[in-house]
Amino acid sequence: MKKNILLFLITFLFVMQACKKSEKADMVLLNADIITVDDAKPYASAMAIKGDKILAIGSEKEIKKFISDNTEIIDAQGACITPGFNDAHLHISPLYAENHILGTVSLMPPRVSSMDTLIALLKRKAEITPDGLWVTGSRYDDMILGAHPTKADLDKISDKHPVVVRHSSGHVSVVNSYALKMAGITRNTLDPPGGAFVRDAKGEPNGICHESAGGVIRKAGPKMPEPNDEEELNAFIHCLYNFAAKGITSAGDAGMSPKKLKLFESAYKKNLPVRINMMLSNSFLNLADSIKIDSTIDPNYLRLKTIKVFQGNSLSGRTCWLNQPYEIINPKTGKKDYYGIPPARSQESLDSLFKAIHDAGYQIAVHANGEREINMCLNSIEKALKENPRTDHRHRIEHCSVVDDTILNRIKTLGVVIVPHSYIYEHGSKMEEYGDYRWDRMHPNGSALKAGIPVAGSSDYGVSQAWPMLRIMSLATRKSREGKIYGASQIISVHDAIKIWTMGGAFVTFEENIKGSLSPNKLADFVFLSKNPEKVPVDSIMHIQVLKTFVGGKKVFEL
């Protein structure tokens, strides 16, 4: 009996292999320089695609066997091909033109490198905005400007509009006097939990708002006109096509709502160019079980199994909560005793929230930057697992910016995965205020890999640009825009950086068996690059161009 079963299995496998060899490809790529991110076959020169999956990968001789009269043959002309990049944590937002009433003025460097330019651009926006409505700008960099703007600067823009500009971190905002008055903010106003109104030497709010303080003012302001459905949908699709143009084929939207799900469903029907892992904001946890993705949608395009929690503050905004003080003088005390802003949520409240998410079977994705915030999150995860053990939960810490050996050991022991920043090129100079003794413990991509902790790549767009080539270069150099290295011990190889931005992103969403590497039977998500990142000077990786982007074997971008 056993011999008969063995004979059947051998025959079955032989027949299946023969069938596979007889399959013909819909598309074949030849003359390529392929980085597969598959340890079983790290490099190749040709690939065969059938439907939306990879049929085979290997040498040209091996792959030409899959060509038929109906096969589309693409000569890659020596271009480097990698798996599509997976930006595991970003914020998908509608992109409106600046002159649109809902448009926001970009204040990013190098466009804005002086306060005069910032004011001039926002004045132009105020001139075309109806009186009483918000004039908004985003992503100014205080290190480039030399300081944060204050209400005195923004008052030069308009006295007929509330004006708000957001810092590059997304966690600090600045408003003009009109906005402060509109919200009733005075010297007697108390700081909200988890936030602070920065004050001048006389105790008056100077317009700079840390964390939740900005939300207090925005909620008191006028409501902007609602875009029509088609207008909003097209603005979201514009954002997604910008991602595809940078080689992103999968993205994790951190903190979405039921309304946003409907937009993504509509975008899918218009040929969604990027696969999306949706992280539902914990404020909608009570609705999670009732939120259903349209059954006609390919589940490999829209996925909702993660709950996003905000616990703690910002690394680049210098508001995260630390064990030891920042290397700056606290203007309130004149001493070096600023530890950041404590989270609004208590440990007990966090325990309760994590238990509810964990018990419901969802993955936790929690924003935390400083050690004190991270330890609070680990405490809550540990407690949830103790009360309700669950293997391979892959609960996530987003950013996980400042660590020590104890934290890394706890992360490893608890089976947590991390999604750190890779934005030192833009934000390295902001690490100065943490002190050089901390730099080798910040953005711990290298330490995590050495410890065997799963790591995924993230731009945290719009905190930094959704630009994998720049992010990979930043991981492999740890250099700021000015050329200074922050935390040399955390430098990783270009190959490992690519792996973080491909397989790392797939693993963190439990999808490592269907994407993340160029392997047979995986989704045909891949990118053509003008040069091989592993074969050029590491400082030049950001200049590599994305030539084409394919999702499920279909071209969604071509330069």
> How far is it, in rounded angstroms, from Cα 441 to Cα 490?
8
Q: Are strands 72-75 and 554-558 parallel, antiparallel or unpaired?
A: unpaired
User: Does residue 298 sit in the same domain as residue 366?
Assistant: yes
Q: Is residue 36 in a domain? A: no
**Residue 308: strand, helix, or coil:** strand
The amino acid occupying position 82 is T
Show the tokens assigned to 447.
């330490």
- Contact indicator for 551, 275 with CB cutoff of 8 Å: yes
Task: Report which of 29, 32, 35 is spatially closest to residue 472, judged by C-alpha positions.
Answer: 35
Show the tokens assigned to 398.
């987003």
> How far is it, in rounded angstroms, from Cα 185 to Cα 196?
12
Q: Is residue 91 in a domain? A: no
DSSP track, 483-552: S-BS-GGG---HHHHHHIIIIIHHHHTT-TTTSSS--TTSB--EEEESS-GGGS-GGGGGGPPEEEEEET
Q: What are the start-end ranges of the H helices in 97-256? A: 115-127, 142-145, 151-154, 177-183, 212-220, 229-245
User: Does residue 348 sit in the same domain as residue 492?
Assistant: yes
Provide the pLDDT for residue 3: 52
User: Does residue 324 sit in the same domain as residue 371?
Assistant: yes
User: Does residue 249 sit in the same domain as residue 144?
Assistant: no
User: Does residue 250 sit in the same domain as residue 351?
Assistant: yes
Provide the pLDDT for residue 12: 47
The amino acid occupying position 142 is D
**Dihedral sign (CA 408, 413, 414, 417):** positive
Provide the pLDDT for residue 224: 86
Provide the pLDDT for residue 18: 42
Total number of domains constituting the chain = 2
Cα distances (Å, whole numbers) of residue 241 to 135, 232, 236, 244, 555: 26, 14, 9, 5, 12
- Contact indicator for 303, 363 with CB cutoff of 8 Å: no
What is the domain-level CATH number for residue 159? 3.10.310.70
To 10 degrees, the CA torsion angle through 510, 245, 443, 114?
-150
Residue 297 domain boundaries: 232-517
DSSP track, 368-424: E-SHHHHHHHHHHHHHHHHHS--TT---EEEE--B--HHHHHHHHHHT-EEEE---H
Q: Is residue 92 in a domain? A: no
Cα distances (Å, whole numbers) of residue 483 to 42, 79, 474, 478, 539: 32, 29, 11, 9, 10
What is the domain-level CATH number for residue 353? 3.20.20.140
- Contact indicator for 55, 48 with CB cutoff of 8 Å: yes
Which residues lie closer than 8 Å to 491 by C-beta, 6 or more apart? 446, 475, 476, 477, 478, 485
Boundary of a domain, candidates 181, 199, 220: 220
Q: What are the start-end ranges of the H helices in 23-103? A: 60-63
> How far is it, in rounded angstroms, from Cα 415 to Cα 529?
34
Boundary of a domain, candidates 220, 241, 271: 220
Provide the pLDDT for residue 5: 54
Q: Is residue 123 in a domain? A: yes
What burial class does residue 203 get, using C-beta atoms within 10 Å of its C-beta: 0-12 exposed, 13-18 middle, 19+ buried?
Answer: exposed
Q: Is residue 21 in a domain? A: no
Kindly report, residue by residue over 348-368, the tens digit of the pLDDT.
Answer: 999 999 999 999 999 999 999
Across the strands, what pairs with 138? Answer: 106, 166
The kind and range of the H/E element at 136 are strand 135-140
What letter does residue 444 receive in the DSSP assignment? -
What's the length of the chain?
A: 559
Q: Is residue 124 in a domain? A: yes
User: Does residue 213 sit in the same domain as residue 252?
Assistant: no
User: Does residue 251 sit in the same domain as residue 133?
Assistant: no
- Contact indicator for 273, 247 with CB cutoff of 8 Å: no
pLDDT tens, per residue, the chain with 559 residues = 445 555 454 444 444 444 455 699 999 999 999 999 999 999 999 999 999 999 999 999 999 999 999 999 999 999 999 999 999 999 999 999 999 999 999 999 999 999 999 999 999 999 999 999 999 999 999 999 999 999 999 999 999 999 999 999 889 999 999 999 999 999 999 999 999 999 998 999 999 999 999 999 999 888 888 888 899 999 999 999 999 999 999 999 999 999 999 999 999 999 999 999 999 999 999 999 899 999 999 999 999 999 999 998 999 999 999 999 999 999 889 999 999 999 999 999 999 999 999 999 999 999 999 999 999 999 999 999 999 999 999 999 999 999 999 999 999 999 999 999 999 999 999 999 999 999 999 999 999 999 999 999 999 998 999 999 999 999 999 999 999 999 999 999 999 999 999 999 999 999 999 999 999 999 999 999 999 999 999 999 999 999 999 999 999 999 9
Boundary of a domain, candidates 220, 242, 275: 220
- Contact indicator for 541, 472 with CB cutoff of 8 Å: yes
Q: Are strands 43-44 and 275-281 parallel, antiparallel or unpaired?
A: unpaired
User: Does residue 121 sit in the same domain as residue 238?
Assistant: no
- Contact indicator for 87, 51 with CB cutoff of 8 Å: no
User: Does residue 278 sit in the same domain as residue 409?
Assistant: yes
Radius of gyration of the chain (CA): 25
> How far is it, in rounded angstroms, from Cα 113 to Cα 48?
48
User: Does residue 117 sit in the same domain as residue 247?
Assistant: no
Q: Is residue 23 in a domain? A: no
Q: Is residue 115 in a domain? A: yes
Provide the pLDDT for residue 4: 55
pTM for this prediction: 0.91
> How far is it, in rounded angstroms, from Cα 327 to Cα 319?
13
User: Does residue 117 sit in the same domain as residue 265?
Assistant: no
User: Does residue 203 sit in the same domain as residue 307?
Assistant: no
- Contact indicator for 94, 104 with CB cutoff of 8 Å: no
- Contact indicator for 319, 174 with CB cutoff of 8 Å: no
Helix and strand tally (H, E) in the chain? 17, 23
A 10 A CB-CB count for 349 gives: 13
